[in-house]
Amino acid sequence: MRAAEGARVLAVDVAPAPPEGAPGGVEYLRGDVSAEHTWERVAAWGPIDVIVSNAAAVEVAPAHETTLESWNRQLGVGLTAAFLAARTLLPRMETGSMVLTSSVHALVGLPGHPAYAAAKGGLTALTRQLAVEYGPAVRVNCVLPGPIMTPAWDRVDDEGRAGSVRATVLGRFGTPGEVAAVIAFLASDEAAFMTGAGAGVVVDGGWSIVKDSA
Ligand SMILES: NC(=O)c1ccc[n+]([C@@H]2O[C@H](COP(=O)([O-])OP(=O)(O)OC[C@H]3O[C@@H](n4cnc5c(N)ncnc54)[C@H](O)[C@@H]3O)[C@@H](O)[C@H]2O)c1
């Protein structure tokens, strides 16, 4: 159920305020998802039926130029945050669903993303693990988006964007709404017999099935 349909929704982000154009009816908590106390604040907010673990941090550099601080930061936001959310909230849920946002980076290697890829691959394994530990009460699934037009692409130039679009079958970026629709489906009773789908729910316009060897 969405905020527009009457659900109480809490968005958690480090940004000082929600972005312009954020949907109405969503409450906002400023917090660092990689910090334990943030999840205690979420637990205090009210009973939780659905968790969507979606934040990420990307710092582009090859492995030999990635500092330990950068590695820990990216793993903290991209992987540890999902663990902290699960550890804090899943034992308190008698029923419900958790959806983790991984990436096609969990499936293929791309230069300059060692920590991001490790975090995203870790999320797919964590999904299966949490599904086993907290089922049947709570279902846990994971989506793997491909190129989706969000502010994350602000740092990519036109050539880089065009290359990513060319690498899809559908010939375009996906929209945040197209990923949100899949997350909403996985969180809902429509997906009542799905749990532990750690690497199967790819939302990438065919990006991960194309290999141009010409
Ligand atoms: N956009 C894409 O092409 C794409 C592709 C594959 C996967 N994804 C995944 O989708 C998810 C959403 O990505 P996006 O494109 O909207 O990214 P984005 O960079 O536009 O947004 C990331 C959000 O995470 C927040 N954030 C960063 N560190 C945080 C922290 N410590 N605590 C709380 N919030 C924090 C940022 O403030 C920002 O609002 C991410 O998990 C990303 O890896 C995106």
On whether residue 137 sits in a domain, the answer given is yes
In a domain, 74, yes or no: yes
**Residue 15 CA, closest ligand 1 atom number:** 37
Q: Which of 116, 134, 173, 207 is catalytic?
A: 116
Cα–chain-centroid distance for residue 64?
26
User: What does the pLDDT read at residue 198?
Assistant: 78
Looking at residue 148, the DSSP 8-state letter turns out to be: B
Domain range enclosing 147:
49-209
The encoded tokens of residue 195 equal 């749990």
Enumerate the β-bridge partners of residue 175: none
Domain contains 123: yes
List the CATH number of the domain containing 92. Answer: 3.40.50.720
* Structural domain includes residue 77: yes
Please count the structural domains in the chain.
1
What's the pLDDT score for residue 210?
87
Does residue 93 lie in a domain region?
yes
Q: Within a domain: residue 132?
A: yes
Residue 39 lies in a domain: no
Atom 40 of ligand 1, nearest CA residue:
56
pLDDT in tens, the chain (214 residues): 778 788 899 999 999 998 888 888 899 999 999 999 999 999 999 899 999 999 999 999 999 999 999 999 999 999 999 999 999 999 999 999 999 999 999 999 999 999 999 999 999 999 999 999 999 999 999 999 999 999 999 999 999 999 999 999 999 999 999 999 999 999 999 999 999 997 889 999 999 998 877 6
Instruction: Give, for ligand 1, the residue of 14, 73, 110, 175 to mutate: max count of ligand atoms closer than 8 Å to Cβ.
Output: 14
pLDDT at 21 (0 to 100): 80
Cβ atoms of 145 and 101 within 8 Å: the answer is yes
pLDDT for residue 57: 97
pLDDT for position 148? 98
Task: Map residue 144 onto helix, strand or coil.
Answer: strand
Would you say residue 174 lies in a domain?
yes
